[in-house]
Amino acid sequence: MSSTIARKCFFDSNVVLYLVGEDKAKKERAVSLLSLESIISTQVVNENVNVCLKKFKFTKEKTFSHANFLINRLNLVLIDEATITTSFDIYSKYSISYWDSLIVASALNSGCEILYSEDMQDGLIIEGTLTIKNPFT
C-alpha cells in the first residue's frame, strides 16, 4: 500500500469555474483535485461571482450557491496587507499580470506547493517553492 502526502494546493479562479461549467471532462478533473488541503482566496470567490453573473448569465441564486460552495468546501484565505506586498514583489520578478501576481502571493503566503491554473505558465516555479500546474494538460 502506497501512501501519499497531501499537499497544500491553491486553485486559480479559472479552475474552480469548471465546477459549474459545461465541459464535463474539465469538471470531473477539477472535482478530482479538490481535497482537504484545497485553498482559494477571496479574490477567487469574487472573480467566480463576476464570471457567473456576467459571462455565464447565471441567476443570483445559482451564482451565490456556487460561491457559498467554494467558501464552505475549500479553505478560504483573505487578501491582506502582506499578500498585497508580496504580490508587488512577484509582479516585479515574473512575467505575469498583477492580478495573477495577487493569486500567486495568496498561494505563497498560504504555504502552498502547487498552484493549479489554466492560464499561467505551466511548470513555472515561483520563489523556489510554488509550482504552477495546468491540471488540464
Domain range list for the chain:
9-133
Place of cell 499580470: 97
State which H helix or E strand residue 10 sits in: strand 9-11
| Secondary structure letter of residue 64 according to DSSP | H
pLDDT of residue 3: 40
How far is Cα 68 from Cα 71, in angstroms, rounded to an integer? 5
**Residue 33's pLDDT is what?**
95
Burial 90-127 (b: 16+ CB within 10 A, else e): bbeebebeeebbbbbbbbbbbebebbbbbebeeebebe
Q: Are 128 and 136 in contact (CB under 8 A)?
A: no
The 10 Å Cβ neighbour count of residue 9 is 24
CB-based contact 53:67 (threshold 8 Å): no
**Res 1: pLDDT:** 37
Q: With respect to CATH, is domain 9-133 assigned 3.40.50.1010?
A: yes
Outline where DSSP puts E strands in 42-88: 75-77
pLDDT in tens, the chain (137 residues): 334 445 899 999 999 999 999 999 999 999 999 988 999 999 999 999 999 999 999 999 999 999 999 999 999 999 999 999 999 999 999 989 999 999 999 999 999 999 999 999 999 999 999 999 999 99
pLDDT of residue 6: 54
User: Any idea how long the chain is?
Assistant: 137
